Structure 1
């Protein structure tokens, strides 16, 4: 078994949808980024790539590449899943947390877990997503941005 860790952060801005775990979460702002800026899926991808010793998402999907402008992060996650299979790995489990003062995310978490599992072609029971606040502290607490952390375990297939 191998373990990887992922972290990502994006600034909240007006004029963009808020996409987390492939779910369009109703909110007055969205995340700024080259792709759909899905901070949760980005952290998950980095954790998976790290567990497999395959670098990070910037190496595979550079933000200067126009092919990835506005792309769904779930599509990129599918590619990461295929890469893991090619390298002889299977996803054992993923545990992730989204750090945001607002909006409240509990109602959307089952759909996020489902989307991540579907993109990786694994059982949703292998995915665990949580959400927390920072009690008003730091950039997430003031509403400047949203962060996500993820840990992934992979096994040789």
Structure 2
């Protein structure tokens, strides 16, 4: 049996924060604002996994008003979501994700992101796709006020 999940996440960009995307710290003058480390890509993948099994969303499992999750590394959240999937007898087939931001360029970091994600989800790096695009300077992403990530995840019974 297969299950497909879709996830999306948004975060504001602000001065004075680190920029974490896909479990990788990326040098940039702005970082994502959030209760956790605000890793938009890992949050979208978490939501895709949870959604595939109708387990709610990341905010339900890790509320942004819970001090336990303040500044938490989103790799921990991804690992916990993966545990929820495995507890129900599922495993990841593949992940296909896209990041939307104007700057910085993500391509140099995507191989490392794929390695991090594959390691946590116990799949081959060939089963993890990380792509990036801009909005051609349009909207809040184009004005570098925020970023967005989208993720699709295919699960199968283990």
- Give the alignment's TM-score, normalised by structure 2: 0.98
**CA distance in 1: counterparts of 2:30 and 2:13, whole angstroms:** 6
Q: How does 1:127-138 map to 2 (within 5 A)?
A: 127-138=128-139
Q: Deviations over 1:84-130 (max 9, x none)?
A: 00011110101000000100110000011111111112221111000
Q: How does 1:78-157 map to 2 (within 5 A)?
A: 78-157=79-158
Aligned-pair CA distance for 1:156: 1.1
- Give the 3-state SS of the residue equivalent to 2:144 in structure 1: coil
Q: Are residue 17 (structure 1) and residue 6 (structure 2) matched?
A: no
The CA RMSD measured in Å over matched residues stands at 0.6
Aligned-pair CA distance for 1:148: 0.4
**CA distance in 2: counterparts of 1:80 and 1:132, whole angstroms:** 26
- Give the alignment's TM-score, normalised by structure 1: 0.98
**CA distance in 1: counterparts of 2:150 and 2:142, whole angstroms:** 16
Over 6 Å off, 4+ runs: none
- Give the 3-state SS of the residue equivalent to 2:150 in structure 1: strand
Q: Deviations over 1:37-69 (max 9, x none)?
A: 000000000001111221110111010110000
- Give the 3-state SS of the residue equivalent to 2:114 in structure 1: helix
Aligned-pair CA distance for 1:3: 0.5
Aligned-pair CA distance for 1:33: 0.1
- Give the 3-state SS of the residue equivalent to 1:78 in structure 2: helix
**CA distance in 2: counterparts of 1:124 and 1:35, whole angstroms:** 25
Q: How many residues align?
A: 157
